[in-house]
């Protein structure tokens, strides 16, 4: 690969993350002021930890800052690279899922209760967005429909269009809800998400440098989008870190979850996603275990689920839980990149 092309790619990645970071840091307090003026405060669930009641009224819907600055950073970076259909489709589905979360948050605020959309409506809208993307992906974007681990044909198992659509819908809906479950402490979701998007940035860059191995026609555009998400999440974390001055709400968690799933699908690392998003998997499993145990045995596994609340109720300070969960997210980042790089070397990759 030409050195000039690599340099332009690196510049595009730096612009995407840098612009998103700067706009997120500077723009989030403006959003906070607007939300406060309109009394768009978070409603706290009644069965949550007692220590969280003091957070009631903190501005929510902060995901608007994350996704808005991500899109801005992504767009500005294209001074050095070209837009692709896959990249634009990813942005559309991220914004669509963000809109679902925004409606949910809006209803919570206007109804002055911690419940927004009912479960059927929320899942139905998520399914509609996911199905729309999956159909566009297999018909217009012509994604490879192999079940893939680190490369488009790494398992050799051909799912076909229908099978790939089912997989894409499951990953999109599952991941958005998993990130939503993780968003329960100040800075937990935004900080861990920044780690997650590092993986997709590195994978996209390697797929660009080694096109013969990965055959991804939009690898750089996907890496640019991931880099913009890193900057947007990091900038938002400046204001979202404990004690949070703003919450991302479902607006942010659903948008971030959509970005994680879409990038995994477009970068052909479907089966690597549970490791990349290992923290989200643990949070989701804790809820599944809690519900199953209570219904089948009449007892709870954890003091409260998702599991981050369990550690709060054990007496861990909130910041301790957050930092230790960030460390877990970093561990999953390192493990997933290690698996990807090992496979890269095993298939003749160098550099």
Alpha helices in 38-149, H assignment, sequence order: 63-76, 85-111, 119-139
Greatest Cα-to-Cα distance within the chain, rounded to the nearest angstrom: 63
Which of 319, 310, 61 has its CA nearest to residue 191?
319
The answer on pLDDT for 183 being more than 80 is yes
The answer on pLDDT for 35 being more than 70 is yes
List, for residues 300-350, the tens digit of each pLDDT value: 999 999 999 999 999 999 999 999 999 999 999 999 999 999 999 987 766
pTM: 0.95
Write a three-state SS string for 220-253. HHHHHHHHHHHHHHHHHHHHHCCCCCCCCHHHHH
User: From CA 103, how far away is CA 60, in angstroms rounded?
Assistant: 12
Coil vs helix vs strand at 157: strand
Q: How far apart are the first and last CA of the chain?
A: 11
Is-contact 64 251, C-beta < 8 A?
yes
User: From CA 148, how far away is CA 164, in angstroms rounded?
Assistant: 10
Which burial class, exposed, middle or buried, applies to 156 when counting CB atoms under 10 A from its CB (0-12, 13-18, 19+)?
exposed
pLDDT at 115: 72
> To which residue do tokens 């012509």 refer?
142
- The larger pLDDT score, comparing residue 148 to residue 111, is at 148
pLDDT band at 3 (very low <50, low <70, confident <90, very high): confident
Bridge partners, 59 (sequence order)? 41
Is-contact 229 204, C-beta < 8 A?
no
pLDDT band at 164 (very low <50, low <70, confident <90, very high): very high
The answer on pLDDT for 57 being more than 90 is no
Which of 223, 278, 249, 253 has its CA nearest to residue 126?
253
Which burial class, exposed, middle or buried, applies to 300 when counting CB atoms under 10 A from its CB (0-12, 13-18, 19+)?
middle
User: From CA 29, how far away is CA 235, in angstroms rounded?
Assistant: 11
List, for residues 211-265, the tens digit of each pLDDT value: 888 989 999 999 999 999 999 999 999 999 989 999 999 999 999 999 999 999 9
The answer on pLDDT for 6 being more than 90 is no
Least confident of 31-40, 41-50, 191-200, 331-340: 41-50
pLDDT band at 284 (very low <50, low <70, confident <90, very high): very high
DSSP state of 153: T
User: From CA 247, how far away is CA 57, in angstroms rounded?
Assistant: 10
Which of 291, 274, 282, 268 has its CA nearest to residue 324?
282
CA distances from 294 to 182, 286, 313 (A): 21, 12, 18
CA distances from 64 to 11, 25, 27, 84, 306 (A): 26, 13, 10, 24, 24
Tokens of 217: 């026609």
Average pLDDT over residues 8-19: 96
List, for residues 84-96, the tens digit of each pLDDT value: 999 999 999 999 9
User: From CA 267, how far away is CA 101, in angstroms rounded?
Assistant: 25
Query: What is the torsion angle, in degrees rounded to the nearest 10, for the CA atoms of residue 289, residue 105, residue 23 and residue 319?
Result: -40
pLDDT band at 83 (very low <50, low <70, confident <90, very high): very high
Coil vs helix vs strand at 147: strand
């Amino acid at each position: 690969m030409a050195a000039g092309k690599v340099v332009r790619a690196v510049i595009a990645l730096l612009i995407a993350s840098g612009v998103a970071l700067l706009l997120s840091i500077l723009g989030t307090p403006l959003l906070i002021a607007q939300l406060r003026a309109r009394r768009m405060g978070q409603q706290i669930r009644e069965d949550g930890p007692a220590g969280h009641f003091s957070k009631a009224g903190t501005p929510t819907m902060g995901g608007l800052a994350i996704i808005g600055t991500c899109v801005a950073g992504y767009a500005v970076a294209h001074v050095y690279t070209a837009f692709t259909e896959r990249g634009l489709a990813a942005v559309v589905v991220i914004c669509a899922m963000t809109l679902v979360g925004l409606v949910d948050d809006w209803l919570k605020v206007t109804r002055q209760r911690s419940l927004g959309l009912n479960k059927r409506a929320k899942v139905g809208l998520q399914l509609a967005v996911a199905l729309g993307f999956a159909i566009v992906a297999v018909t217009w974007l012509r994604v490879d429909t192999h079940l893939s681990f680190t490369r488009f044909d790494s398992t050799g198992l051909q799912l076909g269009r229908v099978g790939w659509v089912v997989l894409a819908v499951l990953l999109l809906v599952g991941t958005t809800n998993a990130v939503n479950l993780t968003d329960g402490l100040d800075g937990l979701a935004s900080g861990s998400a920044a780690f997650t998007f590092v993986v997709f940035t590195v994978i996209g860059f390697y797929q660009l440098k080694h096109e013969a191995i990965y055959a991804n026609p939009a690898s750089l555009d996907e890496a640019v989008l991931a880099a913009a998400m890193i900057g947007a999440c990091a900038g938002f974390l400046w204001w979202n870190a404990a004690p949070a001055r703003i919450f991302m709400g479902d607006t942010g968690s659903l948008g971030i979850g959509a970005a994680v799933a879409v990038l995994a699908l477009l970068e052909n690392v479907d089966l690597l996603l549970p490791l990349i998003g290992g923290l989200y998997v643990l949070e989701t499993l804790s809820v599944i275990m809690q519900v199953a145990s209570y219904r089948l045995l009449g007892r709870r596994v954890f003091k409260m689920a998702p599991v981050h609340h369990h550690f709060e109720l054990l007496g861990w300070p909130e910041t301790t839980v957050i930092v230790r969960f960030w460390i877990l997210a970093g561990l999953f980042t390192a493990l997933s990149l290690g698996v990807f790089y090992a496979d890269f070397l095993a298939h003749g990759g160098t550099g």
